Amino acid sequence: MPSRKSTSTAANQTFTTNIKGAKDLKEYINRISEITQGVRREFECDVQQPRARVEEPKTFLGSRSFDVTMCRVSHDSVLHSETKLHQDSKFLQAEQTVNDGLALLENIRKMLVTNKQQRNVTVKNLKKTRHLGVKTGKINDLKKEREITEQGGVYQVSNGGGAAAFVEDIELEHETPKYKEIKLLIQQVQQNHRTVAHNLFKQAELIVRALRTRDILAYKQAAENTIQKIIRHADLCRNFIQDCRRIACIEYCASAWWMETQRDPMDHSPYYLTAVSEGVPTRFNAPAQEYSALVSGRHAPPPILIQVQSAERSSHDNTCQIVFSEYLDQQLAETILTEEAVRAFEEEEVPTSYRRDYGTIVSNSPLPNSSVRNNESDDDDDYDDDAVWAAIDAFNATTGMEFDD
C-alpha cells in the first residue's frame, strides 16, 4: 500500500502548474474557467433530463388529484432549492468557492501587471534623470561631445572622429553624489518591486494549490451529489404518483360497480367514493416514501378501505352518512377490478351511467317529471273512456237496444 507521502507527491506531480508570470497565470485562469463552465453545462443538462423531472398526469386521479399536484410542487421546490438558493445548495456553494478563487487570481494577475508597469516606468524615469545628470556634469567638464548609450552592461563611447571603443563594466570617472544616489534608488526600486511580485506569487500559489487539490474536485463532487439527490427525489415522487394512480383506478372501478350494481335505480342523490390505504400518508413525504421503498419487500401491503358516503349532509348531526364501507380483499377485487373497468380507466373512457362533479358521483338517468306523469295519467284516462264506449256499442249491437245521448 503506497504511503501518504508518496500519494501526495504523485498528486503534486500530476497537478503541477508552473506559474512564472502574469501570462502563465492568465492561461491557468482560462483553463480553470473552461473546466468550471463545462461542469456547469453538464449539470444543467442533467437537470433537464426526464429522470430529474416530475410531470403531473392529466388523467383521472379521483380523490388523490390534489395530493399529486402537491407532490409535483414539492419536487419543483427541491429543484429550485438545489439550483437557485445558495444557502441550501451544496453545488452553488462549491461553485461560489471556485469563482471566488478565480476572482482572487484575476486580481493578483492585474496587480502583477500593474507592479511590472510601475517598475518599468519608475526605473526608466530614474535612468533618464541619471543620464541627464551625467550629460550636464561630466560631458560639460570634459568639453567634448560624446554619446553614451547603455547596451546590456556594455557602454559604447563614440567620438567625433568616428572611432569606437567597447568597454565592459566601465566605471564612469568623476561620479557625482547625485549620480550615486540615483543609482542606489534604482536598485532599491527594483528590489521593492521584486519583493511585491514575490509576495503576490506566494498568494497565487496558495490559491492555485487549493483550487487544484480541493475546490475543483469538491465542485465536481457536489454537482454529482446534487443530481443524484434530485433524481432520487424524482423517483420517490413518481412512485407516489404511481400509488395515487393505482388508488384512482380502484376508485374509478369501484364507482362504476357501485353506481351500476349497488345503487338503487330510483336514487339520484350524489355520493362521494374514496379508497384509502391505511397507515400510508396521503400527502407526499420524501423520508416516509424512502423508508417505505426500503421496507416494501419485508411487509405486507397496507389494506385499502373503500367507502361510499352521501354527499348531502344530514339535518340531525350535519354529517355525511356512510352507506358502504369495506376493505378491498381478494373477492371484492375480483368483483370490482374487472378487465372491462380497468381498460376503461386506462383509456380514460367517460362513464355513461353516471358523471363526476367535483369528486362526487351522480347518476345520469333523468329525474322523474311530474308533468310527464300527469300527461301519462290523462292519456290513460282517455284510453279507459274509449274502451268503455266501445264496450257499450258492442253491447247495443248484440241486443238491438239504443240509448239516448
Q: What is the DSSP string of 225-265?
A: HHHHHHHHHHHHHHHHHHHHHHHHHHHHHHHHHIIIIIS-T
Q: Between these two residues, 49 and 260, which has the higher pLDDT value?
A: 49
**Parallel/antiparallel/unpaired status of strands 304-313 and 320-327:** antiparallel
Indicate whether 111 pLDDT > 80. yes
Q: Between these two residues, 32 and 174, which has the higher pLDDT value?
A: 32
Q: pLDDT grade, residue 52 (50/70/90)?
A: very high
Indicate whether 145 pLDDT > 70. no
Average pLDDT, the chain: 76
For residues 296 and 242, what is the distance between their CA atoms, to the nearest angstrom?
14
Q: Between these two residues, 367 and 23, which has the higher pLDDT value?
A: 23
Closest to 289 in 3D by CA, of 224, 361, 217, 233 = 233
Indicate whether 197 pLDDT > 60. yes
Q: Which residues contact 196 (CB under 8 A, 6 or more apart)?
A: 115
In the prediction, which pLDDT does 270 show? 81
| Tally of CB atoms within 10 A around 240 | 27
Indicate whether 124 pLDDT > 60. yes
In the prediction, which pLDDT does 351 show? 67
pTM: 0.67
Indicate whether 244 pLDDT > 80. yes
What is the sign, positive or negative, of the torsion defined by CA atoms of 383, 384, 388, 391?
A: positive
Mean pLDDT score, 155-181: 52
| Tally of CB atoms within 10 A around 324 | 14
For residues 193 and 191, what is the distance between their CA atoms, to the nearest angstrom?
5
In the prediction, which pLDDT does 87 show? 92
Indicate whether 400 pLDDT > 80. no
Q: Between these two residues, 371 and 221, which has the higher pLDDT value?
A: 221
Indicate whether 295 pLDDT > 50. no
Mean pLDDT score, 111-118: 92
In the prediction, which pLDDT does 372 show? 42
Q: pLDDT grade, residue 133 (50/70/90)?
A: low
Q: pLDDT grade, residue 191 (50/70/90)?
A: very high
Q: Between these two residues, 60 and 222, which has the higher pLDDT value?
A: 222
Mean pLDDT score, 103-108: 95
Indicate whether 74 pLDDT > 50. yes
The answer to whether 306 touches 250, Cβ cutoff 8 Å, is yes
Indicate whether 131 pLDDT > 70. yes
Among 14-18, 49-53, 59-63, which stretch is predicted with the lowest mean pLDDT? Answer: 14-18
